[in-house]
Structures are given as C-alpha cells and as structure tokens.
Amino acid sequence: MEHPPVTAASGMEYARKVADAILYEGYLLYPYRRSSGKNRVRWQFGVIVPPGWAEAQGLADTSVAGSVEAPWQQTECLLKASPDETVICQVRFLQLQLKSVEERLADGSYRLVDSLSSGARLELGFDEAQPQEFDLRFSLRDVLDEPHEFGFQAPGGLDTEQVADEDGRPLGRVRRRRHPVPATVTVSAARVDADDGPRDVYRLRVHVANAGAVTPPGAARDEALAESLIACHVLLGADGGAFVSALDPPGWAGAAVEECANVHTFPVLAGPPGDEHVVLSSPILLYDHPRVAPESPGDLHDATEIDEILSLRTLTLTDAEKREARATDPRAAEILDRTESMPPEVFARLHGAVRSLRPMPDAAPEPPGDGVVVVAGVPVGRGSRVRLRPRRRGVDPQDRFLDGRTAQVEAVLTDVDDATHLAVTVEDDPAADLNRWYGRFRYFSPAEVEPLSAEADRP
C-alpha cells in the first residue's frame, strides 16, 4: 500500500499536536483550581510583551531562553530550496481573556463580585485565553533583496453571558473581555555559501514583534499581559524545500547553523521522522520530530508530569475541589470530565509503553572503585572537574547549549542496566549552590565529558 507523499500542509498538521501542547503548557496546573498558588503566577513561556512596557522594565535579554519576557522573538534556520520556493508561515499564540463575574442588583445595575453561585453552577473570576493563528505565505525570491513585513492584529471583544437562578430569575452575568493585540512579522532570507554543500541554501529569518502601544510603561505585569502574545511560536513549511536540523546538522552545514541567531525560541524539524518539510520554532526546547505520546488521552497542561499520575491525582479531588476547578476554567472542566469517564483500558495504556526494541549500546566502563570511573585514563569521581561534550544525537536539546562548559562531578551513579552516569553541577551556573543543596543535577555519560585539572579554565 502506497502512502501519500508528505507535504508542508500534512507535516504541519502532524506537528499541530505538539504545537498545541506548547500553546497550553503551564496554562492551568493540577489541582486546576484558582485558589492553588501555582495557578496565580501563569504565562511563563514565549511571552512577547508591548515594546514600551518592555523598555520601561529593562527587558533587553537576547538569549535563546523562551521563559524570558521580551518585545520580540526571532527564528533563524537553514532551508535547501530553489529561490522560487513558497514558504508557509503560521504564527500561533494565546490572547488573554479577562473573565469577570458581576452580581445583578435590585435596580438592574451590576456590581463586580468574586464569585456567583446558582444551584450546582459556580462562576469565578479568572484569566482565560483564546488561541490565535495567522497564516502567511511568501516566496524566497521576494524576501532575498529586502525584508518583507506583515502586520496582523488579534481583535478585541466583549462577550456577555447571563446567569439565572433555578427559577429563571436573573442573578448576574459573566463577562469575557479581550484587548486588541497587534503584531508584526518580518521575514528575510540570505544565501548561504557552504563548502561541499548544496547549491541553493538560504538562512531564513522570521522576526515576530509586539506592536502594542496602549499599555502604560509603569503598568503591572497583569495589565501588560492583556496586550501580549503568550506562548508564541512559529510553524514553517516548504513543499519543495528541505529544512536543515539545527540540532544535528550535516557536516557541510555545521558552521552555518552555528551562525543562526535564535532569540527566545529554537527551531526543530517537526514533521514525521525522516521528513524535512516542516520546522516548529518553540519557546520550549524540543527534539527533532517531537510528538505527543500516542497513548495520552488528552492535554493536562503539564509536560513535566506523567499522565497516569496526574489522572489518578485528579480522581482524588473532593467534590468541593472539583466544583471549584470546573468554575475556574472550561479547560479544567474538560480534564475532569475526561478523567472521570476514562475506561480501564485507557488507564492501563498510561501505565507504560515500549517505544522500540533495539540492542543496547556498549555499557560504560565499570567503576574501578566506589564512586569512581576512568575517563581517558583519568579517574573521575566526586569533586572532579570536567568539560562537557554532549553527544550529537539522542540528547536533551538543552544539554547541547552546555557544550564546552565546565562542571564539577557530584556523584558517579550506575543505573539498572549497569550503565554509568555522572551527576554534575555546571560551574558558572548562578544557581549552582541552590541546585546542589536540592540535589538537582545534570547527568552525562563518561563519554560526554573531558577530565580537567583542578585549576584549568576555572570560571
């Protein structure tokens, strides 16, 4: 049976599940209640704030970190294509929606209140969000000579829903207000001359900027968020072109990839494995060809947790806690409904899955003594200094940014497969002492480090 050819459109559809998980990561965390402390500080990734407010707050960071708030983000990646190739660009983000609850007074006017109850129904004031998506198309040739700017705006609006008691008498109303969120997308391309590489290679740049001018410079963060692009990310597709992996580039592209400037976002190949038609540039670092676990029944807004654990915890909520969660946000109500109606066979799938069966790589050397392993002929143990050299494939993308950094070994550990791992603390990490106190380390195999002398290149 022949499979249909992979196109940019089909690749982007494949990537959409992961992109949606990025969109709602941290949106609302267990126990999904407004009163929970972890749900009072939200919107942590890909927040593109109004430029005037950002300047007043001194937000000038240009690192790759997507958890940093800034007035713009930038994606740069390599594309092998003819100059007449058409590129599809989707800019996706959340627009804040301010939900307020008002009580109806005897004279027909309304008063803002914290909550409104009608029988089994409870309404709470809370900040929700609306997904927004803007599609752009451009030819490489059109953006080679000079950048091209697109403008768009997520429209404002006000929706009102009346609330009545069980006899139909009006009790109040729920209002959802959205402020307009204007933005610009500037796209450009430059030819890349790579030795021993393909002839037509271009460095593609997509610069997304907040164009809002309403938020006062001295406003609180909550006010600035109403005019911000939240969880902003970009999908790029090309039917006749092939994007180059920024995590595992071919030899001819290594230097050109290093020169790509990605600010507050990072691009990965996002189509099915083996496909190079689509890139997802995300404020959360990902692997190439990421995907949502096929056994997952739905988003829980917390990719750092395990679906089975969160689902079981959700079932333990009391009736009062569930009522508050349902009143907090419709997405919380969806999680409760899905978890409570989940059949046993779905729970069984969540308990574990085998992704693939393949031979295990050669085990790391046996430690010659308690807590010591030999690396390049040098004994390495607790207190040793090493230079980090993460492997090119199958590594956590965040570890790639530690290449060349120095670290101190905190422990030598052996897992259930008798493979040896080094728990390390990065030496120039400002939070090193705190991480050491908490026991939060980074882990590398002996093959991913170079032993150092006690004083060599000490930061």
pLDDT tens, position by position, 93-114: 999 999 999 999 999 999 999 9
Phi first, then psi: give them for residue 381, nearest 5 degrees.
Answer: -150, -165
Phi first, then psi: give them for residue 90, nearest 5 degrees.
Answer: -115, 125
Angstrom distance (rounded) from CA 407 to CA 428: 8
Q: Are 17 and 270 in contact (CB under 8 A)?
A: no
Q: At what angle do helices 319-328 and 330-340 cross, to 10 degrees?
A: 140
Taking CA 187 as the corner, what is the angle to CA 185 and CA 191, rounded to the nearest 5 degrees?
165
For 247, residues 6+ apart whose C-beta sits below 8 A from its C-beta are 268, 287, 288, 392, 397, 400
Give me the pLDDT at residue 456, please: 60
Q: What is the DSSP string of 326-355?
A: HHH-HHHHHHHHHHHT--HHHHHHHT----
Give me the pLDDT at residue 364, please: 39
Give me the pLDDT at residue 9, please: 86
Q: What is the identity of the amino acid at 357? A: L
99: alpha, beta or left? (left if phi > 0; alpha if psi -120 to 50):
beta
Q: Are 246 and 267 in contact (CB under 8 A)?
A: yes
For residue 67, CA distances in Å to 18, 63, 73 come to 18, 10, 11
Q: What is the DSSP string of 267-311?
A: EEE-SSTT--SEEEEESS---SS----TT--S--S-TTS-HHHHH
Query: What element of type H or E holds 258?
Result: helix 254-258
Give me the pLDDT at residue 417, please: 66
Give me the pLDDT at residue 360, please: 43
- Residues of the chain falling short of pLDDT 50: 1, 357-358, 360-369
Query: Is the pTM of the predicted complex or chain greater than 0.75?
Result: yes
Q: Are 307 and 299 in contact (CB under 8 A)?
A: no
Give me the pLDDT at residue 361, please: 45
Give me the pLDDT at residue 367, please: 37
Angstrom distance (rounded) from CA 403 to CA 387: 8
Give me the pLDDT at residue 362, please: 45
397: alpha, beta or left? (left if phi > 0; alpha if psi -120 to 50):
alpha
Give me the pLDDT at residue 292, please: 83
Give me the pLDDT at residue 459, please: 60
Reported as a single tens digit per residue, the pLDDT across 398-422 is 777 788 899 999 999 887 667 888 9
Give me the pLDDT at residue 29, please: 85
Q: Where are the alpha helices (DSSP H) in 341-392?
A: 344-350
